[in-house]
Amino acid sequence: MSKSLLQNPKRNGFSLIELLISMAILSVIILLMSSMMDTTSKIWMGARDRTTQFRETRLSFEYFSRNLQQATLNTYWDYYYDSTRTNLPPQNMDETPSRHAPNSELHFLTGQTDKLLGDTERYRTHAVFFQAPLGYARNYTDMGNLLNARGFFVEFGDDQNTLPDFLKDRITPRYRYRLKEFRPPGEDNMIYLDANASDKKKPVVLDQWYQPGSDLYRGRAPYHELVRTVADNVVALIISPRWSEKEAKSRKLNPEDLAPEYRYDSNPSPPTDWTDPAKHQLPPLIKVVFVTISEKSARYLQDRHGSKPPPELEIEAGLFEQAGKLEKDLARFEKHLQESKMEYRIFQSILKLQGAKWTDVQR
């Protein structure tokens, strides 16, 4: 052993205190790095979830827009009889038509979903139902411009009908608000069918074609085959038919006054007078609003409330009932979502319907 090593024993290594201090510093550094990595991972996963969720909603918004813009009524000019308020002559054949007016056998309808489909617990906000040449059939392909019934609305429920039978008992149901599409094939387009055809003593009813749970579809297809999910976590759908700015200005009205309570019915029953601007005509413009929450928020709500509609997404009474208050109502609903700490996003646009050939019959 060399003499220098015996004379300087401290040069052989670190002291115990130095090692302990080094280990403590290293532990703090590792802890900080681990915490930073965990936070970064959570931020990245959260951003990925939000991006994925809202990308699905964006795609569904584009799908909805494409379908709605193809709505048609095939409107034509026909005789108008004052006594029947239609193009059908009265029993008194001596009456002559009073004028020509737009006419159509098809139907375009918007309004409060619970009033149209009849379930205040299951449905919310607005719905739209129409006919469009989408070419969808059950037993045929390449049907071109085959006329189809279409509809969109928001519904609360589980996803069990979308799962294969062998998974239904193995996967926990996911209760969500969802954007739904009513899409019967061309073979089941009931636009011309009388709901009371089997009982000649009852009046003709032609306004149940848009109700997937009505007697018209019983025996043809179950509800879950007529209605499919377009996007999860869409908690509000707002449909506001409008005049163009030019048309509204000429009438000294606001654009939303075309459907002040959001209801637009091109073929009302009983028939309205010929002066009804919506009769047998498509609205020139439609403002559409989607409100959607993230999947993370939806999971949190299901953990808290199970199969019940969550109060955090409750829409205050009176909201989205007057078209002139849309922006204020939307701001109040946003504030409620923020106070409930929901991750949300709003998509909105004003759509021009391709088949809208607006004519002011009063001029």
Could you write out the three-class secondary structure of 253-272? CCHHHHCCCCCEECCCCCCC
Residue range 59-84: mean pLDDT, rounded? 92
Cα–Cα dist 38/155, whole Å? 37
For residue 306, the model assigns a pLDDT of 92
State the pLDDT at residue 171. Answer: 82
Q: What average pLDDT does this structure show over 209-238?
A: 89
Per-residue confidence (pLDDT) for residue 138, from 0 to 100: 87
pLDDT > 70? residue 361: no
Per-residue pLDDT at 323 exceeds 50: yes
How many other CB atoms are found less than 10 A from the CB of residue 349?
A: 13
For residue 166, what pLDDT is reported?
A: 78
Alpha-carbon distance 102 to 113, whole Å? 27
Cis peptide before 241 (omega within 30 of 0): no
Evaluate if residue 140 carries a pLDDT over 50: yes
Q: What is the DSSP letter of 334?
A: H
Residue 202 has pLDDT above 80, yes or no: no
**Residue-level pLDDT at 53:** 67
Would you state the pLDDT for residue 363?
A: 46
Smallest CA-to-CA distance from 292 within 230, 350, 226, 223 is with: 230
Per residue in 109-131, pLDDT (tens digit) is 999 999 999 877 889 999 999 99
Mean predicted confidence (pLDDT) in 81-110? 87
Long-range CB contacts (within 8 A, 24+) of 298-302: 298/174, 298/176, 298/232, 298/233, 302/174, 302/175, 302/176
**What 3-state DSSP class applies to 124?**
strand
Q: Which residues contact 222 (CB under 8 A, 6 or more apart)?
A: none
Task: Give the count of alpha carbons within 13 A of 356, CB side only.
Answer: 22
The mean of the pLDDT values for the chain is 87
Look at residues 320, 355, 281, 300 and name the one whose alpha carbon lies nearest to residue 126. 320
Q: Are 86 and 80 in contact (CB under 8 A)?
A: yes
Cα→Cα distances 103→78, 79, 81, 99, 363, Å: 6, 9, 12, 12, 17
Each residue's pLDDT tens digit, 326-335: 999 999 999 9
Segment 172-179 mean pLDDT: 93
Q: At which residue do the structure tokens 């701001």 appear?
A: 331
To 10 degrees, the CA torsion angle through 138, 141, 145, 148? 10
In this structure, the number of other CB atoms found within 10 A of the CB of residue 108 comes to 28
> Between 247 and 321, whose confidence is greater?
321
Q: Which residue has the higher pLDDT, 200 or 347?
A: 347
DSSP code of residue 249:
H
Report if pTM > 0.85: no
pLDDT tens for 262-293 read: 999 998 877 878 788 888 899 999 999 999 99
3-state secondary structure of 197: coil
Q: Quick one: what percent of the chain has pLDDT higher than 90? A: 50
Q: Report, as an integer, the average pLDDT of 154-179.
A: 87
Q: So what's the pLDDT on residue 198?
A: 62
